[in-house]
Structure formats: structure tokens, C-alpha cells
């Protein structure tokens, strides 16, 4: 057993990966033979990821607020606390806060053989986001 005291600061989400203000707090990082990672991700209203894929899929678990998620070509889903979303390996998707609500989720995924958990794509445009936001 290994207890790790929280000594890491909250990080701003990189602008190449996110639109709006997003904050990341690591929960688990790959260590030894583990390829698993997890983070709390805090989205301010309207903030969202860019389109992206995960080599081994991704599970998000919503802990606070209200959010949106969408797979490429699919419909937008509203997500709320207690909801779990699994994105299939290689499935292009985005997720983030609703336009008028904060949203926090735990993101869980595994790294590929090269050590990467994600491949980032284009930003979700304001038009795409507004067009997908529920009334």
C-alpha cells in the first residue's frame, strides 16, 4: 500500500485541449506496471474539451453540476451528478459544462503502449456548442 498526500496544485487545463476555464486535479497517475490514470476535471459554465479519442476508452463520472457530452455524429446528452459515461476506444467525443452551470467529473482512462491516454483533435466551435446545447 502507498498513501500519497495531496501536494500537487490544481492546474489550468491547457488551451490546446479545452475551451473556457477548466481546472485539473490528478487522482491517479500510471505507476509501475499500471497504465490507469484519473483526474477531477472542473468546468466553468460553457467550458468544454476539444474533440478527442482515447485508445482504451474513457469513463467519466459526474460529481457536481450539469454538463453535456456528444460523440461525433451522435446526439448531445445532458449529464448530471451520478451519471457515468463510457466512450468507446477510438470514439471521437467531447464533454463539458452546460452553458449556465458548473460541471465536475472524474475522468478515468488507460495509457496506450507509448504512454498516451488521449489524442486531441479540433476545438468544438461556439456554433457547434450552441447548436448542441439543450433549450
CATH number, domain of 85, equals 2.60.120.10
Is residue 14 very low, low, confident or very high in pLDDT (cuts 50, 70, 90)?
very high
The whole-number pLDDT of residue 99 equals 96
Residue 135's pLDDT is 44
Predicted local confidence at residue 78, as pLDDT: 94
31, 79 in Cβ contact below 8 A?
no
The pLDDT value given to residue 108? 98
34, part of any domain: yes
Residue 122, domain member (yes or no) = no
Residue 108 lies in a domain: yes
For 105, the domain range is 11-114
Higher-confidence position of 115 and 44: 44
| CB atoms near residue 92 (< 10 Å) | 16
22 belongs to a structural domain: yes
**Does the pLDDT value for residue 5 go beyond 90?**
no
What integer best gives the mean pLDDT of the chain? 92
- Tell me whether residue 61 is in a domain: yes
Residue 119 lies in a domain: no
Mean pLDDT over residues 63-77, rounded? Answer: 93
pLDDT single digits (tens) 48-61? 999 999 999 999 99
Q: What is the pLDDT of residue 132?
A: 56
In a domain, 52, yes or no: yes
Residue 130 included in any domain: no
Give the pLDDT confidence score for residue 49 in this predicted structure.
98
Burial class (CB in 10 A: 0-12, 13-18, 19+), 39: buried
Count of structural domains within the chain: 1
Interval 10-33 mean pLDDT: 94
Q: What is the pLDDT of residues 84-121, one digit of tens each?
A: 999 999 999 999 999 999 999 999 999 999 989 999 99
Beta-strand ranges (E) seen in 7-111 are 11-12, 18-19, 22-28, 36-43, 48-49, 52-53, 58-65, 67-71, 77-79, 84-87, 93-97, 103-110
pLDDT class for 126, splitting at 50, 70, 90?
confident
C-alpha cell, 100: 449556465
Amino acid at each position: 500500500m502507498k498513501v500519497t498526500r495531496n501536494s500537487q496544485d490544481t492546474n489550468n487545463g491547457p488551451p490546446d485541449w479545452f475551451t473556457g476555464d477548466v481546472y485539473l486535479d490528478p487522482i491517479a497517475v500510471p505507476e509501475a506496471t499500471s497504465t490507469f490514470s484519473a483526474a477531477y476535471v472542473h468546468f466553468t459554465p460553457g467550458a468544454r474539451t476539444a474533440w478527442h479519442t482515447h485508445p482504451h476508452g474513457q469513463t467519466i463520472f459526474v460529481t457536481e453540476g450539469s454538463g453535456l457530452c456528444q460523440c461525433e455524429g451522435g446526439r448531445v446528452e445532458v449529464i448530471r451528478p451520478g451519471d457515468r459515461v463510457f466512450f468507446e476506444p477510438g470514439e471521437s467525443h467531447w464533454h463539458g459544462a452546460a452553458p449556465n452551470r458548473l460541471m465536475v467529473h472524474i475522468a478515468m482512462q488507460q495509457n496506450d503502449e507509448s504512454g498516451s491516454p488521449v489524442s486531441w483533435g479540433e476545438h468544438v466551435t461556439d456554433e457547434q456548442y450552441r447548436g448542441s446545447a439543450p433549450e
